[in-house]
Amino acid sequence: MQISRRLFLKYCGASSLVLASCGIDSRGPDGSLEQRDDLASVLPPGAGARVIWLTGSGCGGCSVSFLNRFSTTAPVSAADVLMNVAVVGFQPVIMAAAGDQAVAAAEAFYAGGEGTYVLVVEGAIPTAFNGAACVLWRDASGQDVTVLQAVQRYAASATAILSIGTCAAYGGVSAASPNPGAVQGLSTATGLKTINIPGCPPHPDWIVAGLAGVLSDAPMSLDAQGRPESIYGSNIHVSCPRNQGASTVFATTHGVDNQCLRQLGCRGPVTTAPCPSGLWNNGRNWCVDANGPCVGCTESSFPQVGLRTPV
Amino acid sequence: MATVKIIDPVTRIEGHLSVQVTLDAVGGVQQVTDARASGTLFRGFETILQGRPPTDAPHISERICGVCTVAQGLASVLALEAASGLTVPDNARIMRNILNGADFLHSHILHFYQLSLLDYMDGPARGPWAPTWSTDKRITGSAASTLFSHYQTALDMRRKAHELGALFGGRMPHPPSTVPGGFTTTPRAARISAAASLASELVSFVQGTYLPDVETVATAYSDYSAVGAGPRNLLAFGVFDLDTAGSSKLLRRGRAEGGSTSVQALDVNAITEAVTYSWYQDASPVGPSAGTTVPSYPKNTSAYSWLKAPRYSGKVYEVGPLARMWINGSYTRGISVMDRHRARAQEALLIAQAVQQWIPSLSSSGSVYNQYTVPSSASGVGLTEAARGALGHWVSISGSTLSRYQVVTPTCWNASPRDDKGALGALEQALVGTPVTNADEPVEVMRVIHSFDPCLACAVHVARPGKGATVTRLGTAC
C-alpha cells in the first residue's frame, strides 16, 4: 500500500491532518464551494489504492451520495477519487465489466494476497433462505454466490473493511422490523471488525474521510458503534443552531423556519453526526434547515418504528 | 444448437440483476431466441411498512431506491393524501415538482454517461473502466476522448442537479421534506436565486452536450434504432402536477397499444400482478390493493425471480421516459434502444426547462403545509413517475397504523419475469431477436438491458438453463 498511502497524503495535504483536510469541510449556510483544483491526469493502470466495493441489500443511495463529493481539497470529486486516488476493481454501479469479467476483476485483486486491497461494503447482509435473498453473482462452477459468502471471502484478506451506510454498519432499513430477510450488518454477519461509516445515506465527505483514514497511518479512534470519532463526535442537538437553550422556540407544525423540531419528532438529541456544521450537497442545505426533523439515520437504532415520535 | 449465456452480475444498473439469454442462428444470423431476467434481491418493504404509523411511510419508502428516492417518497405521500382526501398548497406542489425534476435530471444524466456510454466506447485503462469487452466499440480516438471528458462533466452536472434538489429537499438523496399535507421547506429568496442559477446550468448542459452526445451515439449505432422494440405497449401514470387536483400534468397519464400513437385512458383497476414465476406464495393475479408479498424460496424449478409480473388487462407494457414522452405526444419517432436514449434526453430538456419556469413561481411568503391528521381507517393509491417509469403505492390504514402496503415499481413492469400465461416481460421480449456477434462478449444484450435503465433495489435472481442447451460461462474463467 506504499503508493496509495503516499498518494493519499499528497492529495490530502500531507501531515497528520488527513481526516480534517480530506474529509469534513466546515462551511456556513451560504458557503457553497465553487472554487476547485483541476483534476490531475489519470494515473497509470494499476496505480492507486486497490478497492473492492460490494453492494448487499440496500438502495444504492450510498454510491449515489459518494458521487456527490465536492470539495476544494483533493480529492475534489468522485471522479478525482476514481482517476487519481483509488483503483476500483469491482463497483457494480459504475464498472465497465459485466458477468464473469466483473467477477474476475474482483478475484484478481483477491489473488494479490493479504493486505493488498480495501473492502468497501454498501448494503446489508441477508441471511434468510440461506442467503439467497441477495445473490451477487454465479461463480465459475455455476454456483450462486451470496453477498454473505462474498464478504466472508474478501474480508479475510482485506487491509481494512469499511461498512458504508447504516445498512452495512448495523442492518438499517434493510433489517427493519420484522426483518423478513433476516438481515444483519456486516460486522454481526461475519464476526469481523469493521470501520463503520453510517448514515442513510452517509455524507460523501464521511466516505472519503473513512477511506483516507484507512489508507493513511494516522490512528483512527472508533466509538462504541465502530464509527470514527473524528467524524461522528458531536451530537446534532448540541450543535444545532436552532438550539438556543432557554430561549428555544419549539415548532408545532411543519413549514416554520428557525424553530426547534423536537416536538415534531426530531432525533437530533440522540444522534451524532456533523450535519449542522458540514451541511449537505456542497453546503446547500441540511435536513433541519429545511424544517425536516432529523431522522437519526446515523444510529444503529435507525429506523425504529415511529420515526416521528418525539424523543 | 442453442447456447445459453448468463450475464451475472449485470452491472451499471442499480440493484441486482441476472440475465440469461439463449443464442441461436436464425436466417444465418446469431441472435437471442429466448431471455430470462431475474431480480436477485428480496427486501420485503411491504412487510416492513405494515404496523407502522403512516407518517413513517415516506421516510421508509424513499429508501426503496437511492436513485429515484424522491419519487418513492412522493408516491407514498400521494397515497396517504388520497386516503385522507387532503390537498396541498401551491408552494408545496411546486417544490415537489422541482425536487422530483432535479432527481430526474440527476438520474437521466447518470444513466446516459455513467451507466450506458461504456457499452459503446472504452474509458481509461484502469478500474472501474477496465477490464471491458472489446467487441463492437465503434466510437474511438478523439470522439471517444471528447465523450469521456463529457462523462466527467456529467458527474459534475448530476451532482449539481442534486444540489438543486437539496436547496428545497434539505439533502439528497433521501430528503426529509416531502410529508403528507405538503412540504417542510420554505422557499426563501436565497434558495430561489441559487436554484435558478443551477437550473440554468442544467438546461445548457442538456441542450448543448447531452442531446448532441446522444445523437453522436445514435448515428454511430444507427442499427440500434431497429433493435430492442419489446411489447410496443406503453404506459404512463403521469407526473409533475400543474394544478392542485393533479388533473393537469407536465407529462400526462395514459397508455398506447401496439406502437399506436392513439392514447387511451388508464384504469388503475386493470393492473394485476402475477407471481407464477416469482419466489412468492402462489396466488391468482390480483390488483396491488389486494396483493400480498409472502416469500417462498425455494419454490419450484420454474420460478426464477424476486420480481412480480405486473400486467395491464393481462398484457405486457413498457414504462419509462419513452412511454411518458409517447403518451404525451412529445416523441413518436419509434420504439427501440436508441429511441429510449433519445426520448430520455429530450425529456431531460423538457423537465429542465419546466423546472426553470417553476422556480420563480414560488411565493416566499406562501404556505407550504396543510395539517395532516392520521385517519383511523382509510385506503388510497399514489400514482406518479420515477425517472425510470410508472410508480404506484397502494396503502391501507386500520387502527391508525398501516395495515397493508404494496409497491409496484417501474422495473417490475420492465424487467418482470414471465406471467401466469407464460408471456415474457418487456425487457425479455426486447432481448429476443437482438443480433449477437460474439457469444463470449454479448455487449448487444447489455445495450438492450441498459436502454430500459433497470433499477432493482426492490427485487433479484436465479436463472436456470433450458433443456437441450449448452451452458457456457461468459468471459474468462475466474
pLDDT tens-digit map of A142-183: 889 999 999 999 998 999 999 999 999 999 999 999 998 899
| Cα atoms found within 13 Å of the Cα of residue B446, Cβ hemisphere only | 31
- In the numeric block, the cell 407518517 is attached to B55
From the list A61, A132, A292, which residue is nearest B173 (CB)?
Answer: A61
Is B64 within the bounds of a domain?
yes
Q: Taking residues B331-358, what's their average pLDDT?
A: 98
- Would B477 be classed as within a structural domain? no
Q: Is the ipTM of this complex over 0.90?
A: yes
Note the pLDDT of residue B476. 23
Identify whether B385 is part of a domain: yes
How far, in Å, are A116, A281, B149, B305 from residue A71 at the CA level? 28, 10, 20, 41
C-alpha–C-alpha distance, residues A226 and B452, integer Å? 39
The yes-or-no answer on residue A167 being catalytic is yes
Sort out which chain B residues have CB atoms less than 8 A from A205's CB and list them: none
Question: What is the rounded average pLDDT of the residues B436-452?
Answer: 96
Min Cα–Cα distance to chain A from B179, Å: 9
Q: Nearest CA to CA, how far is B257 from chain A (Å)?
A: 32
Amino acid at A43: L
Give the three-state DSSP class for A32.
coil
User: How much of chain B is in helix, strand and coil states, percent to nearest 5?
Assistant: 40, 20, 40
Look at chain B and report how many structural domains it folds into.
1
Contact between A292 and B184 using a beta-carbon 8 Å cutoff: yes
Residue carrying the nine cell digits 494516522: A218
Q: Please tell me whether residue B44 adopts helix, strand or coil conformation.
A: coil
Tell me, what's the pLDDT at B189?
Answer: 96
> Percent of chain B having pLDDT more than 70?
95
Over residues B289-316, the mean pLDDT reads 87
* A12 included as an active-site residue: no
Q: Which residue out of A12, A22, A134, A200 is catalytically annotated?
A: A200
- Bridge partners (DSSP) of residue B182 are B179, B369
| pLDDT tens per residue, range B241-297 | 999 999 999 999 999 999 999 999 999 999 999 999 998 888 889 898 887 778 888
Task: Flag whether B329 is in a domain.
Answer: yes
The CATH number covering residue B204 comes to 1.10.645.10
Asked, for residue B12, whether it belongs to a domain, the answer is yes
The 10 Å Cβ neighbour count of residue B225 is: 18
Tell whether B60 is within 8 A of chain A (Cβ).
yes
CA distance to partner chain B, nearest, from residue A256 (Å) = 7
- List the one residue out of B381, B418, B419, B378 whose CA is nearest residue B272: B419
Q: Residue B278 has what DSSP assignment?
A: B
Please check whether residue B413 is in contact with residue B235, taking contact to mean a CB–CB distance below 8 angstroms. Answer: yes
CB contact A134 to B (< 8 Å): yes
Contacts of A93 in chain B (CB under 8 A): 11-14, 114-115
At A45 the pLDDT is 54
Q: What pLDDT tens digit does each residue of chain A (311 aa) get?
A: 333 444 444 444 333 333 333 334 444 344 444 333 333 334 455 568 899 999 999 999 999 999 999 998 888 999 999 988 899 999 999 999 999 999 999 999 999 999 999 999 999 999 988 888 888 998 878 889 999 999 999 998 999 999 999 999 999 999 999 998 899 999 999 999 999 999 999 999 999 999 988 887 677 899 999 999 999 999 999 999 999 999 999 999 999 999 999 999 999 999 999 999 999 999 999 999 999 999 999 999 999 999 999 99
SS3 B345: helix
CA distance A221 to B464: 48
B478 lies in a domain?
A: no
Active site residue A134: no
Amino acid (1-letter code) at residue A304:
Q
pTM of the model: 0.93
Q: Tell me: the pLDDT tens digits for B150-163?
A: 999 999 999 999 99
Residue B38: beta bridge partners?
A: B18
- How far apart are the C-alpha atoms of B231 and B229, rounded to whole Å? 7
Q: Which residue has the higher pLDDT, B301 or A228?
A: A228
Alpha-carbon dihedral angle through residues B439, B440, B441, B443, given to the nearest 10 degrees: 30
Cis peptide before B187 (omega within 30 of 0): no
Interface of B with A in 288-347 (CB under 8 A): 295, 297-298, 306
The DSSP symbol for A222 reads B
pLDDT greater at residue B396 or residue B286: B396
Mean pLDDT calculated for residue range B422-448:
97
3-state secondary structure (DSSP) of residue B80 = helix
Inside any domain, residue B115? yes
Torsion of CA B379, B314, B8, A192, to 10 degrees: 20
Would you say B71 and B386 are in contact if contact means Cβ atoms under 8 Å apart? Answer: yes
Is residue B328 in some structural domain? yes
Q: What is the pLDDT of residue B457?
A: 63
Residue B160 structural domain: 3-472
